[in-house]
Amino acid sequence: MDRTVAIIGGTGSQGFGLALRWLKAGEHVIIGSRFREKAQAKADEARKILGRGIKVEGSSNDEAAGKADIIVLTVPFEVQLSIVKRIRPYLSDGKILVDVTVPLASSIGGDPWKILYPWDGSAAEQAARYVPRGVRVVSAFHTISSDILSDIDSEVDCDVLICGDDDEAKRIVAELAEEIPGVRAVDCGPLENSRLTESLAPLMIYLCKSYGVKTVGIRITGIPTIRWG
């Protein structure tokens, strides 16, 4: 695979879970962090889990964004905008920014099973407003929990709901999603629809709390197997 995936905020549980899944699938992954040493420690941890032959690096968020073709943003909502502004100079025409941010009310001290409503409509639309022209923003991976991602020997019983305004970018992100065993990628339309898909994450948190389980999954039924591009 002649591409590089950077995970901004890759030392967090969800980012690191995605890194493990894609490294296992053979992707070249850069784990990004504000602190290079922390990212390098996580890269070492990935090698211990998967073996030294994987293609992994640990780097600062800036350098990771600059070196990658696909940048996956897995950070809390309260720091999303500041990090997007920070990596903006390293985002160039044609790159794909995958926004995984969920505007949870916990970012302002509220309950994690409640959602906020950004001025732009969604976290992904907020990110899109601040990236350079030509950077393709896709919203995805809100419905996969970090617990199941980190359990690398288990299949993920979940659809990944993908929103974006660029069909090619959505197809590429769908390919990444379906490298995770058990995952099906579902095209959910334009980026504006991320207002709907982002809101599923706090619902899933509520269901986990209510039913006393660690993970729940979302499946869309009644549609055929989706063929991308």
Number of domains, the chain = 1
**Per-residue confidence band for 227, with pLDDT thresholds at 50, 70 and 90:** low
Give the CATH number, domain containing residue 166.
3.40.50.720
- 221 falls in which pLDDT band (50, 70, 90)? very high
Structural domain contains residue 118:
yes
- Judge residue 38's burial from the number of C-beta atoms within 10 Å of its C-beta, 0-12 exposed, 13-18 middle, 19 or more buried: middle
pLDDT of 229 > 60? The answer is: no
CA-CA distance, 62 to 98, in Å (whole number)? 16
In a domain, 110, yes or no: yes
Q: Give the mean pLDDT of 81-85.
A: 95
Residue 218 lies in a domain: no
In this structure, is residue 229 part of a structural domain? no
* Tokens standing for residue 50: 């998967």
- Domain assignment present for residue 223? The answer is no
> Hey, is 11 helix, strand or coil?
coil
Q: What pLDDT shows up at residue 104?
A: 75
Q: What is the pLDDT of residues 25-78, one digit of tens each?
A: 999 999 999 999 999 999 999 999 999 999 999 999 999 999 999 999 999 999
Residue-number span of the structural domain to which 123 is assigned = 4-211
* Element of type H or E holding 84: helix 77-87
Tell me, yes or no, whether 221 lies in a domain: no
pLDDT reading at 18 higher than 90: yes
> What's the pLDDT tens digit per position in 119-174?
788 999 999 999 999 999 999 999 998 888 999 999 999 999 999 999 999 999 99
Dihedral sign for Cα 39, 130, 200, 177, please.
negative
So what's the pLDDT on residue 107? 66
The residues, any chain, with a CB within 8 Å of residue 147's CB and separated by 6 or more, are: 13, 214, 215
pTM of the predicted protein model? 0.94
Whether 225 is in a domain gets the answer no
Close Cβ partners of 85 (under 8 Å, ≥ 6 residues apart): 130
Helix 36-50, helix 13-24: angle, nearest 10: 50
User: Residue 228 — pLDDT band, cuts 50, 70, 90?
Assistant: low
Which among 135, 129, 134, 122 is positioned nearest to 161, based on CA atoms?
Answer: 122
185-205 mean pLDDT: 93
pLDDT digits (tens, 9 = 90+) for 92-119: 999 999 999 988 767 667 677 777 787 7
User: For residue 164, is it within any domain?
Assistant: yes
- Torsion angles phi and psi, residue 159, rounded to 5: -90, 150
Confidence of residue 5 (pLDDT cuts 50, 70, 90): very high
